[in-house]
Structure 1
Amino acid sequence: MKKYFLYILITVLAVKANAQDGFKPSVKGTQYKILANNTGDKIKIGDVITFHVTQKTDKDSLLSSTYQTGRPAQAQVQAQGDLMDIFPLLALNDSVLVKVPTDTIFKAQEDHRPPFLPKGSNLLILIKIIKVQSLTEAMADRDKAMAAAKEEAAKIEAQEAVIADKYVADHKLAVTTTASGLKYKITKMGTKPKPAVGDTVVVNYVGHTLAGKVFDSSIEAVAKAGGLQQPGRVYEPLTFVIGSQGIIAGWQEGLQLINEGGKAMLIIPSKLAYGPDPSGPDLPGFSTLVFDVELVKVNRVKTSAVSSKPVASTAKKPVAKKAVAKKPVATKKKQ
């Protein structure tokens, strides 16, 4: 009986404490406090909402903020899920502060609890509703944004092509342009067949911008001459399988145009390289890249005479060392 009354007392005190700091429970028990309450229709199940969200500790340490990233969150309101019992309480331009006990977040997984969210602490989530749409309206907006992005990408691609053509003209290069937009020039003919998808290739390379700045190389002398700072880098040819992931499309296509033992210059538009994303201080988004490559060796996939299906060669293939994974041909690599 004493335990029962003690439980009631604790519950009453907890409710009183929440009332004093302005928080109150939703139907599902989520503690919330509406900071800005505007007139207008409340959010409905099925609506698509766009909102800014900031997460802080109860010591006021900032953990994340969409205001900082410049990319607000978006979600379709469902009958179940985190915060879904809070959204229907709000209207456009409303703000709400939600208090989440970290003990519930890390229940049964204490080993994942970070030191800045100790036991008994709370996570404070501030939400600001900036757009409320029906699903149809949200999809129309998405399609419009995708069309605008596609149009912008086409403009940038055309500008890149003009710049690349000027580079070719200024350097008096005789290049071949493929259907994808890759430009290449064979600078040394190899004497053995070209590689195909599935073959393992061993490649020496030098990568530089159209302005001539070397941003990476597998050759130590070239890297040092270019002023590259790569502590711990193992300088050796890059080894990978044609068609494997993590290698930019310009390399995948370009190396299949070179005979084993040959060399070539590859002028690679950004759509076949790192795209709109920056890849280091010397490689802003939409960078056209120039690679001088040497196809040192090709370990070819053998074909079984019985099944006629490609099988892996029994010969031991060169394996790229761990340091090679940091080289610039890996997609979205950072220098």
Structure 2
Amino acid sequence: MKISNFLIGVLLVSAACSSNTKETPKGYKYTMLKEGEGEKGNVGDYLLINMMIKDANDSVWNDTRAQKFPMILPIGESNPADEGIEEIFPLLKKGDSILFKMPAKTLFEKQGGRVPSNVDSTSTFTFLLGVKEIMNEEQVRTLEQEIMQKLTSEQMSKDLNIIDSYLAANNIEAKTTESGLRYQFTKVGKGNNAAAGNQVSIHYAGYLMDGTLFDSSIESVARANNAFMEGRPYEPLTLEAGSGQVISGWEEAILLMNKGSKMRVWIPSPLAYGPRQRSAVIKENSILVFDMEMIDIK
């Protein structure tokens, strides 16, 4: 299983305890600053760690207290190509805090890069690492889900506060869906609402909260916002409702509309592209605003 690296919270290293220099089978030295309790991890397990990295001038390059995610390191089989650092991981227990050093050249080349010009290539970096937990694959998956749910909930609350403040400031009476969409019909249509499986054709214009247009199917709107693209066809977008072809905020909005209706919808980022940067304009966690017109439903 490929587990993404996460970075978190508080450095657990305690220098108050007497140091204890140890050595891996390949001769890689590390210092035990604090010894924990319990069993060591096995190949296939993961270390949930806290870490700080400092250069030779004591400048901090990475401190997990500034990150949202924990760092998770896999305990793998011994690899002859490893310099020996990876041999440390199977030796650690929950609660262990260690210090080890790595040459700058090795550190940056392991990342596939070169030593930066502002770093002495003969210097060493110091790693302070504390083991918070030893986890199996199922526990890691559960942790990932819990973290993502928490972050999504926090971002949703933040986005809704921004949207609702904007609506209140501009005296806009918008309706709300259970998921968090805010919408306002500007024209009433006729007939039944679109349903999952229908082929729908929609004209649209998409904006950021500051009014920046990032896309439109309408040529006049694109020209008015200096976003016209020569050679691009300006026509309604046709898709199957409920098929997952578009962001979830759009999927929900489509089912609120009938033929001929026009609507403005404010979509919180968790119902749009979330923490992904979609384009140079649509940054991570961007709230999107769409003007939508239902041209046809089949």
TM-score interval (norm. to shorter)? 0.5 to 0.7
The Cα shift of 1:288 comes to 2.0
**Are the equivalent residues in 2 in contact too, given 1:201–1:295 (CA < 8 A)?**
yes
The Cα shift of 1:214 comes to 1.2
What one-letter code is carried by the residue in structure 1 that aligns with 2:240? V
Instruction: Tell me which residue corresponds to 2:157.
Output: 158
Aligned to 1:154, the other structure's residue is in SS state helix
Aligned to 1:156, the other structure's residue is in SS state helix
CA offset digits 1:287-335 (Å, max 9, x no partner): 2221111111122xxxxxxxxxxxxxxxxxxxxxxxxxxxxxxxxxxxx
**Are the equivalent residues in 2 in contact too, given 1:50–1:129 (CA < 8 A)?**
no
Q: Counterparts of 2:77 and 2:101 in 1: how far apart (Å)? A: 20
Aligned to 1:192, the other structure's residue is in SS state strand
* Identity in percent: 29
- Among 77, 88, 103, which residue is 2:75 paired with? 77
Instruction: Tell me which residue corresponds to 1:206.
Output: 205
Instruction: Tell me which residue corresponds to 1:45.
Output: 42
Q: Counterparts of 1:271 and 1:199 in 2: how far apart (Å)? A: 25
Kindly tell me: are residues 80 and 258 of structure 1, through their superposed partners in 2, closer, same or farther at Cα, counting changes over 3 Å?
Answer: same
Q: Counterparts of 1:185 and 1:144 in 2: how far apart (Å)? A: 38
Aligned to 1:227, the other structure's residue is in SS state coil
Instruction: Tell me which residue corresponds to 1:108.
Output: none
- With normalisation by structure 1, the TM-score equals 0.53
More helix by share: 1
Q: Counterparts of 1:159 and 1:39 in 2: how far apart (Å)? A: 43
Alignment map for 1:217-296 (pairs within 5 Å): 217-228=216-227, 230=229, 232-296=231-295
- The structure whose Rg is larger is 1
What one-letter code is carried by the residue in structure 2 that aligns with 1:271? P
Aligned to 2:191, the other structure's residue is in SS state coil
Q: Counterparts of 1:44 and 1:255 in 2: how far apart (Å)? A: 50
Kindly tell me: are residues 139 and 257 of structure 1, through their superposed partners in 2, closer, same or farther at Cα, counting changes over 3 Å?
Answer: closer
- Which segments of 5 or more consecutive residues in structure 1 lack a partner in the other structure? 1-26, 28-32, 53-65, 100-127, 300-335
Size of the alignment, in residue pairs? Answer: 226
What one-letter code is carried by the residue in structure 2 that aligns with 1:184? Y
The Cα shift of 1:129 comes to 9.2
Kindly tell me: are residues 245 and 93 of structure 1, through their superposed partners in 2, closer, same or farther at Cα, counting changes over 3 Å?
Answer: farther
Instruction: Tell me which residue corresponds to 1:187.
Output: 186
Kindly tell me: are residues 147 and 89 of structure 1, through their superposed partners in 2, closer, same or farther at Cα, counting changes over 3 Å?
Answer: closer
Alignment map for 1:90-101 (pairs within 5 Å): 93-94=99-100
- Which segments of 5 or more consecutive residues in structure 2 lack a partner in the other structure? 1-24, 52-61, 92-97, 107-126
Q: Does 1:197 align with 2:196?
A: yes
**Are the equivalent residues in 1 in contact too, given 2:219–2:234 (CA < 8 A)?**
yes
What one-letter code is carried by the residue in structure 1 that aligns with 2:216? S
Question: Aligned Cα RMSD in Å?
Answer: 4.3
The Cα shift of 1:85 comes to 11
**Are the equivalent residues in 1 in contact too, given 2:269–2:286 (CA < 8 A)?**
yes
Instruction: Tell me which residue corresponds to 2:21.
Output: none
**Are the equivalent residues in 2 in contact too, given 1:50–1:130 (CA < 8 A)?**
no
Alignment map for 1:13-52 (pairs within 5 Å): 37-40=29-32, 45-46=42-43, 47-49=45-47
Kindly tell me: are residues 281 and 162 of structure 1, through their superposed partners in 2, closer, same or farther at Cα, counting changes over 3 Å?
Answer: same
Q: Counterparts of 2:160 and 2:71 in 1: how far apart (Å)? A: 35
**Are the equivalent residues in 2 in contact too, given 1:48–1:133 (CA < 8 A)?**
no
CA offset digits 1:36-74 (Å, max 9, x no partner): 522459x8633534799xxxxxxxxxxxxx99xx99974
CA offset digits 1:227-270 (Å, max 9, x no partner): 22645432221111112233011111111111112211111111
**Are the equivalent residues in 2 in contact too, given 1:275–1:285 (CA < 8 A)?**
yes
The Cα shift of 1:175 comes to 1.9
Aligned to 1:159, the other structure's residue is in SS state helix
Kindly tell me: are residues 282 and 78 of structure 1, through their superposed partners in 2, closer, same or farther at Cα, counting changes over 3 Å?
Answer: closer
Q: Counterparts of 1:197 and 1:253 in 2: how far apart (Å)? A: 10
Q: Counterparts of 1:268 and 1:89 in 2: how far apart (Å)? A: 47
**Are the equivalent residues in 2 in contact too, given 1:201–1:296 (CA < 8 A)?**
yes
CA offset digits 1:147-186 (Å, max 9, x no partner): 5664454343223222212222233323211111112222
- With normalisation by structure 2, the TM-score equals 0.59
Aligned to 1:193, the other structure's residue is in SS state strand
Kindly tell me: are residues 81 and 75 of structure 1, through their superposed partners in 2, closer, same or farther at Cα, counting changes over 3 Å?
Answer: farther
What one-letter code is carried by the residue in structure 1 that aligns with 2:251? Q
Kindly tell me: are residues 88 and 180 of structure 1, through their superposed partners in 2, closer, same or farther at Cα, counting changes over 3 Å?
Answer: same
